[in-house]
C-alpha cells in the first residue's frame, strides 16, 4: 500500500467458513493454485513449504466442507498420484481472488479515512499482551537513575501517576530503556498491600496510590480488592480475608495501595 518501512498499515485475512469452521483462506487458495499448476499434491506441498500429509488433510477438509469437490485426485504410486482442480475449484479460486482484491481496496480506503493509526496500534498491542499478573500499566519512561548495580526507573502512566521500579542495570540495557520511550509496569496482585489513611504514613515502599475501592471479592482465605486511583487506572490486590475484615473495607470507601519498587517488573513491546 505504499507504506515506508516504519509506517503502520492495516492488514486482514479472508477465509470461507461453513458450520462455524474455517476451511478456505489465502494459504489454502495458494495451495489450490499450485495443485492446478503442478498437477500434484506432493509437488504443490513442496512448493508452498508444507508436508504432504498437511496438504492432503487440507484438501480433504476443503472437499468435505465446500459442498462440491474442488480437487480431483488420481490414486497412483508413491506420493499419491496426480491431482487437478475441478471446474468448481477453478471458479472458487477466481472468486476468492476477486473478493481479495476488493478487500485490499477496502483496506486502502479505510487507511485513508483513519489517517495516522499509530495510537490505535499502540492500544491494540497493549490489550493483546497476556501476562499472569493482574496489574499491567502502560506508560512512558520519565526518568532513569543508574547506580552501581541497580537502576531506578520512573514510568509515568495515565493521569500523570508515576510508578517507580528498581531493576538491574543489565535489565535497563537489555530492554533498551531510554527516557521518553513506551514501557509497561507489571505488578502481581499478591505484591500489593492495602491500607487506609496512608497519605501521611512513612513507609519504605516507593509506590503509594490512594483512591476508591471499586470492587471486593471475598473468599474464605483470600480477598481481592480493586482500588481506582484516577486517570482510568485500577490497582488489584489479593490480601487475606482476615486483613480485609480488620480494615473494614467497603465498596466506595477510601483505601490506599502500596508496593515496593522491587516488585515492579518492566516490559517493552
Same domain assignment for residues 95 and 139: no
Same domain, 190 and 105: no
One domain for residues 150 and 206: yes
For residue 168, the cross-strand partners are 150
**Residue 28 in contact with residue 96, Cβ under 8 Å?**
no
- If asked whether residues 133 and 100 sit together in one domain, one would say no
Q: How far is 107 from 113, CA to CA, in rounded Å?
A: 10
State the pLDDT at residue 108. 73
Q: 3-state DSSP call for residue 250? A: coil
pLDDT of residue 6: 46
The pLDDT of residue 11 is 57
Q: 104 and 182 in one domain?
A: no
Our CA dihedral for 129, 132, 138, 143, rounded to 10 degrees, sits at -130
For position 130, what pLDDT does the model report?
54
Among 114, 149, 179, give the residue marking a domain's end: 114
- Per-residue pLDDT at 97: 87
Domain co-membership, 29 together with 149: no
Q: How far apart are CA 184 and CA 189, in angstroms?
A: 16
**Domain count along the chain:** 2
Predicted TM-score (pTM) of this structure: 0.55
Q: Are residues 137 and 247 in the same domain?
A: yes
* pLDDT tens, position by position, 99-119: 888 877 776 776 666 666 555
Instruction: Give residue 151's pLDDT.
Output: 95
Residue stretches of the chain with pLDDT short of 50: 1-6, 79, 127
Question: What is the number of other CB atoms lying within 10 angstroms of the CB of residue 211?
Answer: 19
Question: Residues 135, 85: one domain?
Answer: no
Pair (51, 178) in one structural domain:
no
Co-location of 27 and 152 in the same domain: no
pLDDT of residue 264: 93
Q: How many H-runs (helices) and E-runs (strands) does the chain carry?
A: 7, 14
- pLDDT at residue 159, rounded to an integer: 85
Give dist(CA 102, CA 114) in Å, integer: 18
Q: What is the pLDDT of residues 210-221, one digit of tens each?
A: 999 999 998 889
Q: What sign does the CA torsion over 110, 113, 115, 120 have?
A: negative
The range of the structural domain enclosing residue 156 comes to 128-267
Q: Which three cell numbers stand for residue 155?
A: 514510568
Amino acid at each position: 500500500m505504499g507504506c515506508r518501512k516504519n509506517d503502520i498499515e492495516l492488514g486482514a485475512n479472508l477465509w470461507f467458513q461453513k458450520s462455524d469452521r474455517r476451511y478456505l483462506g489465502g494459504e489454502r487458495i495458494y495451495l489450490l493454485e499450485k495443485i492446478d499448476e503442478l498437477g500434484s499434491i506432493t509437488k504443490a506441498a513442496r512448493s508452498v513449504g508444507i508436508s504432504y500429509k498437511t496438504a492432503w488433510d487440507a484438501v480433504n477438509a476443503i472437499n468435505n466442507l465446500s459442498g462440491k469437490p474442488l480437487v480431483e485426485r488420481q490414486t497412483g504410486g508413491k506420493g499419491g498420484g496426480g491431482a487437478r482442480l475441478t471446474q468448481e475449484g477453478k471458479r472458487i479460486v477466481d472468486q476468492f481472488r476477486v473478493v481479495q482484491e476488493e478487500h485490499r481496496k477496502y483496506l486502502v480506503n479505510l487507511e485513508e479515512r483513519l489517517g495516522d493509526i499509530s495510537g490505535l496500534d499502540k492500544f491494540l498491542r497493549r490489550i493483546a499482551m497476556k501476562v499472569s499478573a493482574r496489574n499491567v500499566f502502560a506508560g512512558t519512561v520519565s526518568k532513569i537513575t543508574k547506580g552501581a548495580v541497580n537502576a531506578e526507573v520512573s514510568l509515568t502512566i495515565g493521569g500523570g501517576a508515576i510508578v517507580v521500579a528498581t531493576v538491574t542495570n543489565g535489565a535497563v540495557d537489555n530492554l533498551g530503556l531510554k527516557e521518553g520511550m513506551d514501557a509497561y509496569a507489571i505488578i502481581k496482585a499478591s505484591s500489593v498491600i492495602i491500607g487506609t489513611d496512608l497519605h501521611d504514613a512513612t513507609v519504605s515502599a516507593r509506590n503509594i496510590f490512594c483512591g476508591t475501592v471499586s470492587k471486593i471479592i471475598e473468599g474464605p482465605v483470600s480477598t481481592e480488592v480493586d482500588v481506582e486511583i484516577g486517570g482510568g487506572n485500577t490497582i488489584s490486590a489479593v490480601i487475606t480475608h482476615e486483613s480485609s475484615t480488620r480494615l473494614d473495607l467497603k465498596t466506595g470507601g477510601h483505601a490506599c495501595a502500596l508496593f515496593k519498587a522491587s516488585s515492579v517488573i518492566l516490559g517493552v513491546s
